[in-house]
Amino acid sequence: MSITSYAQSHRGVVREINEDALVELPQHNVWVVADGMGGHAAGDYASQLVVDVLKRHLDSVGSGNVNCNVIIAALEDANTQLYQHSQENMDGKTMGSTAVVLFLHEQSYYFVWVGDSRGYLLRRDRLEQQTRDHSQVNELVDEGVITEEQAAVHPLSNVITRAVGVAPEVQPEVMQGKLQDKDVFLLCSDGLTGEVSDLEIESSLSPLNIIDAGMALMHSALVRGAKDNVTCILVKNNENHVQETNQCDQGDKTVPLF
């Protein structure tokens, strides 16, 4: 497996601080984007803690021993630490972070996520969202109350139903797919998707190398006013020729709904 990646984060045009965080862990074939909530000294603390705890957990098991259960345990640990911190040091004020994790193992890719930071796959010039936002509007779509088109402009589109650190327990979601040569993955906070449509993202990614594509995406978000922090990681699989095994036995404006 030969993997290249490109990551960047910007506070945006409006926000005074960057409450997003990211980490690239190519030694574990893991990449992470986290989007903090809670304002100064809370949101940035939360997102950084998430990526730090993930890195510590993965380093502790060592390269070659990472699987989705390790990633989930790390998110649960981060959840416990953040929740206790808010209860003990912030008078119970809500603070937390979304998180989206990409894990590549042999012939499979896995997304593990909480909240509305997203994971996409570009394959043969076609972009598809792999994660599903943990949001109130998506629950309304699932219940048949509103359509996907209505959800995109719904006034509650910024209300999420899951986040790391806002409740005593957290429920990460996992999806798995088969990895193919030349797959390009995008992990991003909602600061990107709030300014740039999926069709525009697809157009930016298709003709360019991942560094040019990443710079184009950031430029598009910033020239449109970037009302939120903008963070994205692009990961490209350059070759894939190893046997498949399953490592996952897993039978701002963002407002948490809690």
Domains in the chain, CATH or no CATH each: 2-251 (3.60.40.10)
Tokens of 227: 């009302």
d(CA 115, CA 42) in angstroms, rounded, equals 17
Tell me if residue 235 falls in helix, strand or coil.
Answer: strand
Q: Scan for tokens 């005593």, then name that residue.
A: 168
Tokens of 208: 């360019």
- Is residue 164 over pLDDT 90? yes
Q: Where are the alpha helices (DSSP H) in the chain?
A: 43-61, 68-89, 136-142, 148-152, 190-193, 198-205, 210-223
Provide the 10 A C-beta neighbour count for residue 257: 14
pLDDT at 172: 98
Tokens of 113: 């996520």
Most confident of 16-20, 37-41, 88-92: 16-20
Tokens of 156: 């509650």
pLDDT digit string, tens, across residues 33-81: 999 997 766 999 999 999 999 999 999 998 889 999 999 999 999 999 9
Q: What pTM, to 2 d.p., does this model score?
A: 0.90
pLDDT digit string, tens, across residues 194-251: 999 999 999 999 877 999 999 999 999 999 999 999 999 999 998 744 434 455 655 4
Sequence-ordered list of residues with C-beta below 8 angstroms from that of 78, at least 6 positions apart, any chain: 49, 50, 53, 54, 97, 99, 164, 165
Average pLDDT, stretch 135-141? Answer: 80
Tokens of 252: 């701002």
